[in-house]
Structure 1
Amino acid sequence: MTEPSGSKTMSEPRGKTTIADGVVAKVAGMAAGEVQGVYALGGGLARTVGAVRDRVPGGRGSVTRGVKVEVGERQSAIDLELVVEYGVPIADVAGDVRENVIAAVERMTGLEVVEVNIAVDDVHLPQEESEDEEPAGGRVR
């Protein structure tokens, strides 16, 4: 049996367990998004493309936007791009994200997380939200 591309197999006494890189990325993305003070994941271009994709009927937001992983047989390394809310202590948010991601990935996959690198690419300002949103009912009245 061949191993799917982008996945790792762990041999156990009674069989093998295969964990795809995308699984680790989803777990990390969900865990990062749960932390208070995180507005979004992804850098400028990734967020722009994602926003367009989210507006397409039937489109879904991606929890892996801004998440890159490297997965070995027993270890993983994770890189995250974040946008934080204005007014929150960035170092504290980054520390909380790091702890939450490590705990979630290790608990759910059994892989040791050797590092979580965090790049804070932007700060979300309260007035940005009101400028980005269209009034209810669309532009035409």
Structure 2
Amino acid sequence: MANTNDIKSTTSSAQQNGQRSEDKGANNSPLQTSQGTTTINDTVVAKLAGIAAREVSGVYKMGNAARRAFDAVSERIPGAQTSVSGGVSVEKGERQAAVDLSIIIEFGASVVDVARAIRRNVISTVEQATGLEVVEVNINVTDVHLPEDDDQNEDEGKQLQ
């Protein structure tokens, strides 16, 4: 993931082409106005990105093996909730953000198509909700979910009861 200094120095392709968005100019951020400054916590961006990624068809779950194990235990505890930001890490500057996602893809889905759809949805959601420019969305596909994995998990659940 880009570090904070890289995020601040990265320019969008629109800026490289000489086009400037009026809300993304050097001193004209929608988060910094003459009436005050709005600060957005990294957690907010992570949750928005996680929700946006989960909306994409072909994404089975978010996170790596350790995160999935934690979520599996959490699901068995009454009232416990799994985190919508699981599998998401964010690095945020004053005007820009970079997002790293770990996903499990459904068997048969195109990794390229799913990744493209995730990037589009995450960028759109985060930029629209926060006013931050999303400079990159890195996606790590950690596993492929097979239909027989569900059958195996159901059998294990029955044995535990």
Pairwise TM-score range, normalised by the shorter structure: 0.7 to 0.9
- Is residue 44 of structure 1 aligned with residue 72 of structure 2? no
1:72 to 93, 101, 109: 93
Could you tell me which residue of structure 2 aligns to residue 31 of structure 1? 52
Could you tell me which residue of structure 1 aligns to residue 136 of structure 2? 115
Shift of 1:13: 1.4
Deviation per CA, 1:47-105, whole angstroms, max 9, x where unpaired?
11121122211100111110000011000000000000000111110110011000000
Secondary structure in structure 2 of the residue aligned to 1:127: helix
Structure-2 separation of matches of 1:49 and 1:135: 17
Give the number of the structure whose residues are more often helix, by fraction: 2
Structure-2 separation of matches of 1:99 and 1:81: 16
- Is residue 126 of structure 1 aligned with residue 151 of structure 2? no
- Normalised to the residue count of structure 1, the TM-score between the two structures is 0.87
Question: Deviating runs (4+, > 6 A) in structure 1?
Answer: 135-138
Deviation per CA, 1:12-59, whole angstroms, max 9, x where unpaired?
111121211100000000000000000000001111112112221110
Structure-2 separation of matches of 1:11 and 1:36: 36
**Structure 1 alignment gaps of length 5 or more:** 1-9
Counterpart residue identity of residue 131, structure 2 = G
Distance 1:74 1:135, change over 3 A: same
Could you tell me which residue of structure 2 aligns to residue 86 of structure 1? 107
Max radius of gyration: which structure? 2
Give the share of equivalent positions with the same residue, in percent. Answer: 50
- Normalised to the residue count of structure 2, the TM-score between the two structures is 0.77
**Structure 2 alignment gaps of length 5 or more:** 1-30
Structure-1 separation of matches of 2:38 and 2:82: 28
Structure-1 separation of matches of 2:56 and 2:102: 14
Give the number of the structure whose residues are more often strand, by fraction: 1
Structure-2 separation of matches of 1:130 and 1:22: 34
Counterpart residue identity of residue 58, structure 2 = G
